[in-house]
């Protein structure tokens, strides 16, 4: 059994940064454990499929019908064979359970010294807060190399699911509850310009993965833009992470002009996921040329887009729905103060 297990697991020996035909690169410390369980079951399936289908084809040919006089022997059974094919697979099932349970337990119990990051999901974006550092509202999960990271996750609206294929972690994110998962990355991978999509440092959606970046998906259907609910994990050396954290803490948005502050909030709050600034139609109306325009509402009335309408749409988005669009925007009550809403209004005014 030990020799069989070792042989079946040899497929993952060189998975590393390149990945394999079936699995992406192994980036986290327990990715190899997940792959071991996967390939153990995979190769068992291959072996038994070939054995069973090969045996079936052989018997179908060997004992095919020839004539009424050519009849097979009436075999009543063989207790030895029946015992073998009952007991031997039981040992294989135990091995599958042991491999899977080992990987599951490693992922389920975060180390006591793990850095905590709070993850908030909402249609259709991820937000990352660092309670111990005083950093909030990040759209990219930035973590230090070689340090365990604990994710405490919840949702503002519907069920989402946080999935990082390179790390082999996936966990449902449920409104009104907190789910926990953790990971640790010891190696910084090279850039993969032909893979992945997600926000960059300023919140703009771009294609390709940079050095140390890993793709984040939502794997629970959550509405219209479920398939575009991307993010990234950015792994960097501890010194670089400390510099990044210090810059975030010292950032002063009040030093920006109102329009610059509004643009910053537009990106930080993931407004670009639903509203374009170039006139193209997305989940919500485009912000280009929006201010001062007359909009037809779903109830048949019209409204002029002014400061009051924009403020109301941010705080009570379901109050006035533009015709042709669904009531899907979440409220930002408690997330934006009057000064921030004013900055967003000034930014929208600038988009002629």
Q: Is the pLDDT of residue 202 over 70?
A: no
Map the chain to HEC letters: CHHHHHHHHHHHCCCCCCCCCCCCCCCECCHHHHHHHHHHHHHHHHHHHHHHHHHHHHHHHHCCCCCCCCCCCCCCCCHHHHHHHHHHHHHHHHHHHHHHHHHHHHHHCCCCCCEEEEEEEECCEEEEEECCCCEEEECCEEEECCCCEEEEEEECCCCEEEEEHHHCEEEEECECCCEEEEECECCCCCCEEEEEEEECCCCCEEEEECCCEEEEEECCCCCCCHHHCCEEEEEECHHHHHHHHHHHHHCCHHHCCHHHHHHHHHHHCCHHHCCCCCCCCCCCCCCCCCCCCEEEECCCCEEECCHHHHHHHHHCCCCCCECCCCCCCCCCCCCCCHHHHHHHHHHHHHCC
Nearest to 27 by CA among 277, 234, 195, 272: 234
Q: Is the pLDDT of residue 109 over 80?
A: yes
Summary mean pLDDT of the chain:
84
DSSP bridge partners of 329: none
**37/35 Cα distance (integer angstroms):** 5
**Which positions ≥6 away from 346 have C-beta within 8 Å?**
258, 259, 261, 262
**20/25 Cα distance (integer angstroms):** 7
Q: What pLDDT does 163 receive? A: 94
> What domains appear along the chain, each with residue ranges and CATH number?
2-108 (1.10.287.90), 115-250 (2.60.40.420), 253-350 (1.10.760.10)
- Least confident range of 4-13, 34-43, 248-257: 4-13
The two structure tokens encoding residue 147: 């340090």
pLDDT digits (tens, 9 = 90+) for 123-170: 888 989 998 888 888 889 999 999 999 999 999 889 999 999 999 999
**Which positions ≥6 away from 305 have C-beta within 8 Å?**
290, 291, 292, 293, 294, 295
Phi-psi region of 314 (alpha: psi -120 to 50; beta: other; left: phi over 0): alpha
CB-CB contact of 163 with 226 (8 Å): no
Phi-psi region of 155 (alpha: psi -120 to 50; beta: other; left: phi over 0): beta
- Least confident range of 2-16, 72-86, 254-268: 2-16
Q: What pLDDT does 23 receive? A: 85
Q: Is the pLDDT of residue 65 over 80?
A: no
pLDDT digits (tens, 9 = 90+) for 13-54: 455 667 778 888 888 888 888 888 899 999 999 999 999 999
**For the chain, what percent of residues have pLDDT higher than 90?**
27
Q: Reading across the β-sheet that carries 169-173, which strands appear in turn? A: 141-144, 231-236, 213-218, 160-164, 169-173
Mean pLDDT of 328-342: 82
Half-sphere exposure (Cβ direction) of 125: Cα atoms closer than 13 Å: 22
**Which positions ≥6 away from 137 have C-beta within 8 Å?**
127, 128, 129, 268, 269
Pairing of strands 213-218, 231-236: antiparallel
Q: What pLDDT does 170 receive? A: 92
Q: Which of 160 and 77 is assigned the larger pLDDT?
A: 160
Q: What pLDDT does 261 receive? A: 82
Mean pLDDT of 267-283: 79
**Which positions ≥6 away from 227 have C-beta within 8 Å?**
none
CB-CB contact of 29 with 185 (8 Å): yes
């Amino acid at each position: 059994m030990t020799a069989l297990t070792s042989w079946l697991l040899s497929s993952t020996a060189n998975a590393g940064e390149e990945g394999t035909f079936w699995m992406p690169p192994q980036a986290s410390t327990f990715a190899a454990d997940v792959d071991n369980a996967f390939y153990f079951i995979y190769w068992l399936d291959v072996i038994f499929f070939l054995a069973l289908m090969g045996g079936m084809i052989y018997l179908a040919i060997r004992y095919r019908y020839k004539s009424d006089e050519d009849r097979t022997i009436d075999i009543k059974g063989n207790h030895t064979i029946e015992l073998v094919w009952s007991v031997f697979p039981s040992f294989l099932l135990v091995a599958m359970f042991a491999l899977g349970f080992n990987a599951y337990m490693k992922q389920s119990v975060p180390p006591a010294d793990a850095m905590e990051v709070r993850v908030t999901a909402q249609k259709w974006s991820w937000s990352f807060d660092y309670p111990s550092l005083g950093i909030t509202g990040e759209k990219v999960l930035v973590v230090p190399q070689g340090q365990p990271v604990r994710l405490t996750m919840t949702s503002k609206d519907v069920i989402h699911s946080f999935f990082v294929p390179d790390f082999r972690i996936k966990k449902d994110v449920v409104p009104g509850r907190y789910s926990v998962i953790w990971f640790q990355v010891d190696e910084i991978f090279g850039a993969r310009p032909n893979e992945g999509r997600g926000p960059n440092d300023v919140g703009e959606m771009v294609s390709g993965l940079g050095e140390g970046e890993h793709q984040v998906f939502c794997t629970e259907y959550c509405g219209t833009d479920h398939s575009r609910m991307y993010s990234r994990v950015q792994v960097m050396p501890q010194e670089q992470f400390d510099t990044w954290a210090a810059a975030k803490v010292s950032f002063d948005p009040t030093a920006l002009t109102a329009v610059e502050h509004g643009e910053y909030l537009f990106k930080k709050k993931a407004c670009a996921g639903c509203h374009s600034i170039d006139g193209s139609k997305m989940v919500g109306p485009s912000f280009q040329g929006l201010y001062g325009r007359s909009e037809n509402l779903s109830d048949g009335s019209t409204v002029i887009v002014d400061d009051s309408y924009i403020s109301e749409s941010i705080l009570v988005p379901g109050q006035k729905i533009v015709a042709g669009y669904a009531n899907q925007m979440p409220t930002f009550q408690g997330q934006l103060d009057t000064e921030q809403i004013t900055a967003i209004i000034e930014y929208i005014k600038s988009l002629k």
